[in-house]
Amino acid sequence: MPDYSFSPQFDPVSKTFQHDKGHRHDKGFFDVLGLAGRFMTREADPAETQGFPVMSAADNAAPGKADDAVTWIGHATLLFEHAGKTVLTDPMFSERASPVSFSGPKRVVPPARQLGGLPDIDLVVISHAHYDHLDMPTLRQLAALQPDITVIAPLGVGRYVREAGFTDVRELDWWQAAELPGMTVTATPSRHWSSRSFFDRNKTLWAGFMIRFADDFQFYFAGDTGYSTDFEETRNRLGEADLAAIPIGAYEPRDFMVESHCTPEEAVQIFRDLGARRAVAIHWGTFKLTLEPLAEPPVRLDQAMRDAGLDTADFRALTHGERWVFLYLPHAGHLIAVVRQGVAFYLALRVPVSLAFGGWLNYSGLGFPNRNGEPGA
């Protein structure tokens, strides 16, 4: 295992990553076994057999060159477009979220897009190593199609991405940033954990990501997370998000999921903590992972927004495959900064030009009038 002792999140004794605020997912084998028993004896969920509607690319408005848009492909997989850049989050296109193809959580809805039909991708971000977020078959196919994509992942996750065939792979600790053409990507804390087996728990880090574009637009991707003060800290350190992708599903039973997954009500609080202008719901309605009904999260989200006195149109649970196109309006602070820069540039340019032009007028006998209304000497 590589030496991650430089990371404040890494415990050199246990050689695992831990949340620096003390959040722990400490459920053991028998806890998992108990949850599995409750899951196997759960009430039937109609959405598991009926699925959900899926919008194709043809069902959406034709994309324009200047569009700011986000498409929900399913689960935590989003296609985000802004300023000529395209970002793909937690790409998961497989039938099952599992180490094997014949067992494990199965999709109730097919991916809303095909890997071969995606546009050129500039950046892939991967939040952590769980199978519903880090899917090796998907990554291998994507690497074969677009091998030059830059992939950013938390510490320890990069080796899986390299195994899939990508070469431009960056690993980040919390609060570390990677500079890319037209984008700055900062890894941010989240309340979660990681594993791909019973023997590697928390051997890799988990993270959210704030992506700042050249025009100061900020896209925040939470990945998987329970609620914590991390989001308020993210806003304080990095500024407000213009668009946030926030999970709203896989939250029951609370005694098991509180350290891993937020409720829709907590998702609304994350939205507020981030100071986000808009948000798109992720991590629901694709895999049956926990005990709540698959169709419940967006209903609770809508009610939580109303209860908070917020516009439900600002935090949307999209239809699978829906492409949400919106207009980017810079924050007042950004507009003020632009105006200040413009004024400073004007003043810096005006003084030497005025002096030079005024001197020429004086020399030519056409000088500016003085206080007495006479031409300048």
Amino acid at 374: E
In this predicted structure, the answer to whether residue 344 has a pLDDT above a threshold of 50 is yes
Q: Which residues of 267-287 are buried (b: 16+ CB within 10 A; e: fewer)?
A: bbbbbbbbbbbbbbbbbbbbb
Q: How confident is the model at residue 353 (pLDDT cuts 50, 70, 90)?
A: very low
10-326 fold: Metallo-beta-lactamase; Chain A (3.60.15)
Give Cα 81 to chain centroid, integer Å.
12
pLDDT at 360: 41
Give the C-alpha separation, 38 to 210, whole Å.
Answer: 36
Helices 296-307, 264-273: crossing angle, 10 deg rounding: 50
| CA distance linking residue 170 with residue 150, whole number of Å | 8
> What percent of the chain shows pLDDT beyond 70?
80
Q: Say whether pLDDT at 373 is over 70.
A: no
Annotate 94-133 with DSSP letters as a single string.
SSBSSSSSSSS-BBSS--SS-GGG----SEEE---SSTTT
Which strand (E) or helix (H) includes residue 49? helix 46-50
Q: Give the three-class secondary structure for 69.
A: strand
Confidence (pTM): 0.85
Percent of the chain, pLDDT > 90?
71
Cα angle 69, 230, 87; round to 5: 25
Terminal Cα-to-Cα distance of the chain (whole angstroms) = 80
**Domain spans of the chain, in order of start:** 10-326, 332-377
Q: How confident is the model at residue 368 (pLDDT cuts 50, 70, 90)?
A: very low
* Statement: residue 335 has pLDDT above 80: no
Count H helices, E strands: the chain?
9, 16
Is 90 exceeded by the pLDDT of residue 1?
A: no
Task: Say whether pLDDT at 123 is over 80.
Answer: yes
Q: Are 243 and 280 in contact (CB under 8 A)?
A: yes
User: Tell me: the pLDDT tens digits for 64-77?
Assistant: 555 789 999 999 99
**Which string of DSSP letters, residue by residue, matches 255-270?**
HHHTTT---HHHHHHH
Res. 187: pLDDT tops 80: yes
Query: Does the pLDDT value for residue 365 go beyond 60?
Result: no
Q: Which residue's structure tokens are 């500079």?
A: 179
CA dihedral (38, 40, 44, 45) positive or negative: positive
Instruction: For 61, list phi and psi in degrees, rounded to 5.
Output: -60, 145
Share the mean pLDDT of the chain.
87
> b/e for 315-336, b at 16 or more Cβ within 10 A?
bbbbbbbbbbeeebeebeeeee
Whether the predicted pLDDT of 16 surpasses 50:
yes
The distance of Cα 167 from the centroid of its chain, to the nearest Å, equals 22
**How far is residue 30's CA from residue 41's CA, in Å, rounded to a whole number?**
17
pLDDT at position 43: 79
For 267-276, 307-316, 333-342, which range has the lowest pLDDT when averaged over its residues? 333-342
The CA distance from 177 to 183, in Å, is 10
Residue 152 binned pLDDT confidence (cut-offs 50, 70, 90): very high
* Predicted pLDDT at 212: 98
Chain segment 208-267, per-residue pLDDT in tens: 999 999 999 999 999 999 999 999 999 999 999 999 999 999 999 998 888 889 999 999
Between 42 and 5, residue with greater pLDDT: 5
Residue type, 110: P
Per-residue pLDDT at 361 = 40
What size, in residues, is the chain?
377
What's the pLDDT at 21?
78
Rounded to whole angstroms, the Cα distance separating 13 from 272 reads: 37
Contact 71, 323 (CB under 8 A): yes
pLDDT band at 346 (very low <50, low <70, confident <90, very high): low
